[in-house]
Amino acid sequence: DADVTQTPRNRITKTGKRIMLECSQTKGHDRMYWYRQDPGLGLQLIYYSFDVKDINKGEISDGYSVSRQAQAKFSLSLESAIPNQTALYFCATSDSRTGSTDTQYFGPGTRLTVL
Amino acid sequence: GQNIDQPTEMTATEGAIVQINCTYQTSGFNGLFWYQQHAGEAPTFLSYNVLDGLEEKGRFSSFLSRSKGYSYLLLKELQMKDSASYLCAVRELYRGSTLGRLYFGRGTQLTVWP
């Protein structure tokens, strides 16, 4: 079984619709992250959470919101989707107990298309 | 801030050695990561350097020079399955904090030819 899962894996939606992407992990990690990836632009951080009560904006948080329902679950919402939010979205986790290493491990990704 | 620069594309032949360079500018440097990403898939962790020098892990090695803001990923005995994008990522600490975040380069697309 995958340690980090994302649902759905693919989604096509229309402009203006509300969309939720979900991430679950069984790694027991306390830190979780949402990234988007556009061709040629690399990974950009949307939101991150260092524990259930700690949520922070990344570099491209406008148009997105998140919810950390439990240590193992971190959801990303697009309140009103727009076409330039078409991208590949990744959830990642890391474990603060590893100290300075704190390697991030990625889920399989959600390909979102906004028409 | 951070400026992470790596070549966009590289090609090599099976069995050869390739070196992918990464330069960065950042305050609060706290480690450099290399990830491999096959098309449409998740990035997977390859290596981590926080001190100067070479870290070797099988066919892959990674080098760091903090004073030069420079790292490279060395891939030996290339195989067709090594065709992928290689992402350089720098962790930067928040000022006065032990917490940090990753900044990713745009990736280097490596194509391995038979």
CB pairs under 8 A between A and B: 46
DSSP code of residue B82: G
The per-residue pLDDT for range A28-38, each reduced to its tens digit, is 999 999 999 99
Tell me the pLDDT tens digit for each residue of B17-27: 999 999 999 88
- Report pLDDT digits (tens) over A40-79: 788 999 999 998 999 999 989 999 999 999 999 999 999 9
Q: Closest partner residue to B99 among A43, A50, A105, by Cβ?
A: A50
Chain B interface, best mutation among A9, A106, A111, by max B CB count within 10 A? A106
Instruction: From chain B, pick out residues whose CB is under 8 angstroms from the CB of A42.
Output: 87, 104-107
Q: Count Cβ neighbours within 10 Å for each residue of A1-24 and write b for 16 or more, e otherwise.
A: eeebebeeeebebeeeeebebbbb
Q: Please, which residues have CB within 8 angstroms of residue A83's CB and are 6 or more apart in sequence?
A: A15, A114, A115
Q: Which pLDDT score is estimated for B1? A: 46
Weakest mean pLDDT among B38-47, B49-58, B69-78, B99-108: B99-108
Q: What is the pLDDT of residues B62-108, one digit of tens each?
A: 999 999 999 999 999 999 999 999 999 999 887 666 677 899 999 99
Confidence of residue B2 (pLDDT cuts 50, 70, 90): low
CB contact under 8 A, B87 and A43: yes
- Chain B contact for A104, CB < 8 A? yes
Phi-psi category of residue B31: left, alpha or beta, with phi > 0 → left and psi -120 to 50 → alpha: left
Contacts of B101 (CB under 8 A, 6+ apart): A45, A48, A58, B91, B92, B94
Give B76→chain A minimum CA distance, Å: 24
Residue type, B13: T
